[in-house]
A and B are shown apart, each in its own frame.
Chain A
Amino acid sequence: MANVEETMKRIESHKGVIGTIVVNAEDIPIRTTLDNSTTAKYARLLRNFTILARSTVRDVDPQNDLTFVRIRSKKHEIMIAPENNNLLIVIQSPCE
């Protein structure tokens, strides 16, 4: 478990990282560095998005699966790592 803590701390303290959220298989955020309402909103939106992204990948090739997502926008970069129905979400401000 110590490894997990260390890894999370390393990600959270990375330059530009605005927030991290870990959502479990029941859609409950089990760890977050953002406020509760933002966390709940982001977790819900990104969970729905990830479900669609994953089924898009599998519709093209049923033997394939989603391993990582990066949503790059003008203001942010949102990275989503799905694993066993859990989600690790990291929101970063891109470095100039």
Chain B
Amino acid sequence: MADVEEILKRIQSHRGVEGAIIATSEGIIMRSTLEEQITVQYVALIQPLLMKTKKTLQDMDSEDELTHLRLRTEKNELIIAADKDYFMVGIHKPSP
């Protein structure tokens, strides 16, 4: 568990990082550097999107597997790393 803390700390201290969230594939929040309300909102929205992404990829190529998903938006970038049991969301403001 100490490793997880260190990794989160390292990510959070990276320039431009707004937050990092770790949750299980079912949407149970494990760790977050953001406040609870916004974390719950992100997880509730990203968890179904992640399921959809995995399914889309499976439909395109049944042997393929998702490693991560990057959503670039006007205001920031969401980097979502997917695993069988967990997923991690990093929110950062890309440098101009």
Any chain A CB within 8 A of the CB of B46?
Answer: yes
Chain A residue numbers with a CB within 8 Å of B83 are none
Q: What CA separation (Å) do A49 and B50 show in the bound complex?
A: 10
Q: Is the CB of B70 within 8 A of A60?
A: no
**Are A52 and B75 CB-contacts (below 8 A) given A45-B60, A69-B70?**
no
Any chain A CB within 8 A of the CB of B3?
Answer: no
**Are A60 and B74 CB-contacts (below 8 A) given A42-B60, A69-B69, A76-B64?**
no
**Are A56 and B67 CB-contacts (below 8 A) given A45-B59, A61-B75, A66-B73?**
no
Q: Is the CB of A46 within 8 A of B49?
A: no
Q: Is the CB of A71 within 8 A of B65?
A: no
Determine the main DSSP class of A at the interface with B: mixed
Q: Is the CB of A52 within 8 A of B49?
A: yes
Query: What is the interface size of chain B, counting residues whose CB is below 8 A from a CB of the partner?
Result: 28
**Are A69 and B67 CB-contacts (below 8 A) given A41-B60, A42-B60, A56-B49?**
no
State the Cβ distance, B86 to closest chain A Cβ, in Å: 17
Q: Is the CB of A74 within 8 A of B65?
A: yes
Q: What CA separation (Å) do A73 and B82 show in the bound complex?
A: 10
Q: Mark A16-29, 1 if CB is under 8 A from B, else 0.
A: 00000000000000
Q: What CA separation (Å) do A52 and B42 show in the bound complex?
A: 14
What residues of chain B have their CB less than 8 Å away from a CB belonging to chain A?
41-42, 45-46, 48-49, 52-53, 56-57, 59-61, 63-76, 78
7 closest A-B pairs by beta carbon, nearest first, are A68-B72, A70-B70, A73-B64, A49-B56, A56-B45, A56-B49, A75-B64
